[in-house]
Structures are given as C-alpha cells and as structure tokens.
Chains A and B, each alone.
Chain A
Amino acid sequence: NAGVTQTPKFQVLKTGQSMTLQCAQDMNHNSMYWYRQDPGMGLRLIYYSASEGTTDKGEVPNGYNVSRLNKREFSLRLESAAPSQTSVYFCASGRLAGGNTDTQYFGPGTRLTVL
C-alpha cells in the first residue's frame, strides 16, 4: 500500500516548456487534489476532482490544466511554464463524500523550478 505517489520528484523547465505532473493513489479514494506550496503562502488549492469524471477549479487555477484519468490517477499539466510557477506541488486524496470529517492524504511532492 503505497498511499499517494507523485512523479517526478524534481524537475527543471525553461520558460514556455510544457510538462505533466503525475499522481496516483491506491486507497480507493473518490477525491483527489493538487496544491502548490510557496514560502509564506501555505498550501493553495489549484484544482480538485471530487469524483472520477469531474474536476473543479481551486484558488489558483490559472496556467494549469488537470485530467482525472481514472479513479486512481490525477495529472496536472503546465502548458507553457512561467517562472511564477516555480513551487512545490503536492497531490492529495480523500473520500470527500465522507463529509467534512474526512482526512486528506498527501504525496511526497514535486519540486519544480522554471528558469
């Protein structure tokens, strides 16, 4: 039982390049999330998927797209990377439909640098 896994762990991009961050969970959770973490800003929600087949914008969605490939996998795509997207990206999963008592479980993060 690996929990939430993310690939890659580290990535360096040049401005304008594209890339996809991958996330998978093996806990049979309905909901999955992408956050970014910046110094002094805490974690901010980019997008989430309450269930397979649905996605919703979070607090900071601009410049990102997501795909809920199946129940296990939720990817985050940067179509044209910008230096402002330099951050640590965390994927998380949870049941959500379990109500507000449900816990979210986090992956180890992807550290992205855009030059």
Chain B
Amino acid sequence: GNSVTQMEGPVTLSEEAFLTINCTYTATGYPSLFWYVQYPGEGLQLLLKATKADDKGSNKGFEATYRKETTSFHLEKGSVQVSDSAVYFCALRGGNTPLVFGKGTRLSVIA
C-alpha cells in the first residue's frame, strides 16, 4: 500500500538557518504529494502541494519538488524564523483515497 517516510525529529535550528526535511514515499500510480504544518495547539494546515512529477510547490518561503525518480518530496526553506516552529507532515494521496501521512517532524527555531 501507499506509505510515507519522513526524517525523525526533533530538528533544532537557529534563526536564518537553512532547513531541509526529508520525505520519501511508496505508492502505485501517480500520487499527489502534500506538506501540512501544525502549529502548537492547532489543527493541520496545508502548506504546499505538488500533483505531478517535477512540479514544485511553494508557500511562505517553503518549497518542495516532486521527484519521481527518487520518490521524494523534500521540504526546504532558505532562512527559517522563530514563527516557523511547528510540526511538519508529509502526505500523499493516490486516486480517490484519503491522505496517508508520515509521522511528522518537529521543528524548533531559536533566536
């Protein structure tokens, strides 16, 4: 079945550091890929998505590129801020099925 593996946290960075959170997936066919973010005490919000190979999703300075050859969708940001501290979830959807999530990566950014 479909599955998502993302790097375990927690990840702690200083403000303005470069961020990468790795995500790889296993799926049949051509899934869509998503990154969701969960701020403390809140539900999940869509951060970005990509629906086909080589697509790049971007939002709020975050980017991720759908790489079919490496089955990856790594999240990057060039300069993190304290306000980016949150839990980040990689997810995929194949066909008309519900989202399948990774286990989440907690990011803490310190000033």
- Seen from chain A, the residues whose Cβ lies within 8 Å of a Cβ on chain B are 4, 31, 33, 35, 40-45, 48, 50, 58, 90, 92, 96-97, 99-109
Asked if B61 CB lies within 8 Å of chain A CBs, one says no
With A42-B101, A42-B102, A100-B31 in contact, do A90 and B43 touch (Cβ < 8 Å)? yes
Number of interchain pairs (Cβ within 8 Å):
61
Quick check: A50 and B43 within 8 Å, CB to CB?
no
A-B contacts besides A4-B43, A33-B98, A99-B96, 9 pairs, CB < 8 Å: A35-B101, A42-B103, A92-B99, A100-B32, A100-B95, A100-B97, A101-B49, A106-B45, A109-B43
- What is the predominant secondary structure among interface residues of chain B facing chain A? loop
Quick check: B42 and A104 within 8 Å, CB to CB?
no
Closest partner residue, chain B, to A102 (CB atom): B93
Q: How distant is B98 from chain A, measured CB to nearest CB, in Å?
A: 5
Q: Please name all residues of chain A whose beta carbon is closer than 8 Å to the beta carbon of B101 when the two chains form the complex.
A: 35, 42-44
Quick check: B49 and A103 within 8 Å, CB to CB?
yes
Quick check: A106 and B51 within 8 Å, CB to CB?
no
Q: Please name all residues of chain B whose beta carbon is closer than 8 Å to the beta carbon of A107 when the two chains form the complex.
A: 43
Closest partner residue, chain A, to B99 (CB atom): A104
Asked if B46 CB lies within 8 Å of chain A CBs, one says yes
